[in-house]
Structure 1
Amino acid sequence: MKFTQSEVKQIPSIALQKVISSRFANETIAVKARGLDGTGIVKGFVNQEYVIVTDKDQKEVKIKISDITEIQRIWKSTVPADSSNKNGATTADTVGETLIYAPLIPVAIGTAPFLRMTGLDALKNNEDEEKARLVYEGMSKQNLIQAIGEPMEKYHCNPKNANGSIDIWVYGKQQVLRGGRSLFIDSDKGTVYHNSYDTTFFKNSEWLNCSQVENNTTTDQEK
């Protein structure tokens, strides 16, 4: 998972340390920063302002979190050499699986640029939403307003077949990461628990009754 320079600029300072902190034992965080030669591997933090990284010469360097320009979260999975025996997989299973997926590969490669241009690339959408969830999940309404500003639109929604309610805040393209255009806020807890790049699907949803609680004062051009 890679946060580009433009994406890093959109990460609220309150969430930066979370984004550059590993969550799993097999996860490595690599960063680029102003004044850092090459890429550094995150090793720890000093207060809320600095991060300790190992540079290309394996030396520990302290850099300002605010100087980071690129973030990569890298996962490494290890598969035992005899894993096929352990899970019962056979050569026939492997061949069969390859035959199932192989016809899709040329199509995916050929249509990927077009899908990206039209915003229909499911892989990109999923990745963008995952990045945005890492950033915004757990933020309160007050956090959002202080760090990002007021949303373009606010909705209050009630599930049609369940109890409880949620608030959905819709932000502009320049305010948030692409995958966080719609932020779902648990009304009881008052914190973000879900997000989406899509800003309209919930308005006529089969599982939600939503009503706008504040008039939209943003122009179509800003959207």
Structure 2
Amino acid sequence: MKSLKRYSPIKFIDTPARIQVRNDWEVVLEYENEQKGPFLVDLSHIGKWDVEGEDLPLLRPAGLAIPKDSEQCLLTGDFLLNLIKWNWATIWHFSEDMPDFAEEFAFTNVTEAYALIALLGREAFSIMEKLTSLDLLSPKRKPPFLIMGPVVHIRSQVVVLSRERDRSAVLVACPRGYGQSIAEIMLESGKEYRLRPGGENIFSSLREMWGGTTNPVNINREEGKVN
């Protein structure tokens, strides 16, 4: 019997150095010659759910509270929860294990419906300024936060995870069919900063730091890999 195989909507031309098959996806953990950032990381394979219904902040998926205010995000452990409006929230899950809430009626698995890209590094916001008019640096908003709006004219969910210089991170989720085009435009817009594809390990190392890891991570290193 042939096993199921899922394909990311994004394909980089760089040569993978390490690949892991996870939930029928081929996930690139590391590319050859990963040296100095900034990096563009394909996270389209991570679990994504839409949550719809009334009184969403009263739900406790996996014991986690959905934010009460739109634009707020909750980043904890393997989960990122976003309230888009009063009756619509999204949950992104960065681990390969299926959460317990996945089969509940209020949750729709939209993993394969969206491309998800992470832009990492101190130049992330300089690059995003070329792609969107959204104000991602407003002092009125504290990361992590969500903004809905156009990125290269494609309506997207934009999550600012960090504005801490080398650890800056922006996630862009868009309909699957636009994923490759947006990724290519982002790489072209980041050429002057030497933006390049990065493997999932770079994002995972930063996520551990946001979760309380004390080891510093510098993705704008001159050589070597994230420790």
Interval of TM-score (by shorter of Structure 1 and Structure 2): under 0.3
Q: Return the structure number with greater strand share.
A: 2
TM-score in terms of structure 1 length: 0.27
| Larger RCO, structures 1/2 (Cα 8 Å, 6+ apart) | 2
Q: Return the structure number with greater helix share.
A: 1
TM-score in terms of structure 2 length: 0.27
Larger C-alpha radius of gyration, 1 or 2? 1
